[in-house]
Amino acid sequence: MKCDFHVHTRYSYDSNSLPKEVVETALQEGIDCLVITDHEEVEGAKKVIEYAFGKSILIISGIEVKSRKGDILGLNVKETIPAGLSAKETIKRIQEQGGMAIIAHPFSFLYSFKGDLEDFLGEIDGIEAFNAAIFASENKKALEFAKKHDLAFTAGSDAHFINDIGNAYLEIPGDNLSVEEVLKAVRDKKGKICGREISFFEKVADHAKRGLSKFKLLC
């Protein structure tokens, strides 16, 4: 299964992707599983799950939370978690819901995890080892860190717009896996990183569009 672990909808302040468009695009791109990770919000995930019902795609409810140290993905999280908490408290709240706490783009120049990530090795469930929206050197550092510390890892497009869905994903052995089976494969480090980093000019355009999207109104 091709699993994109980092996707936003218009329920994130910096995205304009409609839930219906997210599902239809993923299906067109041959993606079998999406984790919807809106900023401090799970309503988008609920809408995507509703629309995907009966379709040949698995949707996992997730979240991206801005802790005081940096962004943390919560996989299989169904309740909102506020921004601005300590990293340890954010991790705790994700895991209290039965979710996996994954440090997002830990070595990104713009969105790095602040402080010594090694201090959190006993608490986090893994790191994002490939994010299509950041630079190759930053992803390389993340993957090397995961290997050095035998950490679970994910890969995701960090798509804020539908044209980026599926740019990066984990290829996980098996077909028609359940949420629990996908997450177990991540914990067992059975996924293969696939996809591409978007170009420099695509990055510039992406961040410009994110900025413009902040002015939208949800309806």
**What does the pLDDT look like over 25-44, one tens digit per residue?**
999 999 999 999 999 999 99
Residues 154-190 as b or e (16 or more Cβ within 10 Å = b): bbbbbbbbbebbbbbbbebeeeebeeeebbebbeeee
Q: Which two tokens stand for residue 61?
A: 């409810």
Beta-carbon contacts of residue 20 (< 8 Å; ≥ 6 apart): 51
Residue the block writes with tokens 């860190």: 145
- Residue 32: is it exposed, middle or buried by C-beta count within 10 angstroms (0-12/13-18/19+)? buried
pLDDT at 214: 65
**219 has a pLDDT exceeding 50:** no
pLDDT at 218: 45
151-185 pLDDT, tens digit per residue, is 999 999 999 999 999 999 999 999 999 999 999 99
110-152 pLDDT, tens digit per residue, is 888 998 999 999 999 999 999 999 999 999 999 999 999 999 9
Confidence category of residue 205, pLDDT binned at 50, 70, 90: low
Query: In this structure, which CATH number among 3.20.20.140, 3.10.310.30, 3.20.20.70, 3.40.50.150 belongs to the domain 2-213?
Result: 3.20.20.140
pLDDT at 97: 97
pTM of the model: 0.92
Report the alpha-carbon angle 176-11-62, nearest 5. Answer: 40
59-92 pLDDT, tens digit per residue, is 999 999 999 999 999 999 999 999 999 999 999 9
How high does pLDDT run on average in the chain?
93
**3-state SS class at 116:** coil
